[in-house]
Structures are given as C-alpha cells and as structure tokens.
Structure 1
Amino acid sequence: MKHIGAVQAVVTAAGFDREPTAAELDAIESEMPLIAAELELLDAQIVTLDRSPSPLDMRRIRRARRRVLVARRELTNRGVVGAPEVA
C-alpha cells in the first residue's frame, strides 16, 4: 500500500495555531444574537428529522426562521462587516 504524505514541510500556516484576537472576539460577540437564533432554528429542524412535523413543530420552525431574519436584519442595519446576506 502506498502512503500519501505532504510534499511540503509545513502544510498549514502557523498563524492558525493561536487564540482569537480581541477584534475577533468582539465580532463574535456582536454576532451572538444571530448565532443563537440559527442554533434555535437548527434545533427545531433536528426535532423533525425522524418524524412528521406536528403543527406545533411547524410553528416553532416558523418562529425560529423569523428570529434568524430579525437578527440578520439588525446586524445588517448596524453595519457589521461580514454579516451574512439574506438569500
């Protein structure tokens, strides 16, 4: 069996092996409402993976989608650089 190895001595840059900077932490903190809303939507969708969604599940998903849209709108209106665009 042939082993595949890296041709170069260093495959990844050393800059990735560091803690986040204060600016990166601030950006994450400003995006936390959107992250939380997206997690809530994901949780609502995961519940319905193995069964048919009930009317209550559908309502929960709709509300979670609205929260994601509101959080995206607020980020965009604040002018946060790198805010995700609404598809």
Structure 2
Amino acid sequence: MKTIAALQATVTAASLDFEPTAAELDAIDFEMPLIRAEVELLDARIMTIDRPATELNTRRVRRAHNRVLAARRDLTNRTKVAASGGAA
C-alpha cells in the first residue's frame, strides 16, 4: 500500500499572523467616509426589513443612499486630484 503525502506545506495560523501595512491602513483611512456611509445605509435597510414601509423609513433609506452616493463622488474626486498631483 502506498501512502499519499501532501505536496504543499500545510497552512498554519502562524503563517497568517500579520499586520496590515502602513499603505493599507492609509487606504482604509482614505475610504473611511464611504465605509461609514455604506454602514449607515445597511443599518437603515436592516431597520426596515420587518417593519411596514412607512414614509419615515423610506426617507431614512433614501437619505442614507444619497450619503453613499455623495461619499463615492467625493472619494472619486479626491482620487483624481491625488492622481493628477494636486489641484491647479
């Protein structure tokens, strides 16, 4: 009888134990307004799952959705300015 051995090294928890780099933390910090807006939208949607569709709930979701769109717009504009080397 032949034994079957793994051809690759096993993955252990120690090999996955690492911290994010400074560049990754900066990228997260750069996108934080969008992340917060998306969390607010998710919270608004979760609140309306088991409730009847009232005008207040509809407004809450719509306002949260508009904040997400504004945050995406601002992030895109900041990305373009950073890529072009700053404002003229």
| Alignment length (residue pairs) | 74
Query: Partner residue of 2:57?
Result: 57
Q: Structure 1 stretches (4+) deviating beyond 4 angstroms?
A: none
Per the alignment, residue 3 of structure 1 pairs with none
Q: Percent identity?
A: 66
Provide the rounded CA distance (Å) in 1 between the counterparts of 2:42 and 2:57: 12
- Counterpart for residue 85 of structure 2: none
RMSD (CA atoms): 2.2
- Partner-residue secondary structure (3-state), 1:51: coil
Aligned to 2:71: 71
CA-CA distance at 1:11 after TM superposition: 4.2
What are structure 2's unaligned runs of at least 5 residues? 1-5, 81-88
Shift of residue 74, structure 1, vs aligned partner: 0.7
1:42 alignment counterpart: 42
User: SS state of the match for residue 56, structure 2?
Assistant: helix
1:7 Cα deviation (Å)?
Answer: 6.6
Structure 1: which 5+ residue stretches go unaligned?
Answer: 1-5, 81-87
Give the TM-score of the pair, scaled to structure 1: 0.74
TM-superposed CA distance for 1:52, in Å, is: 1.6
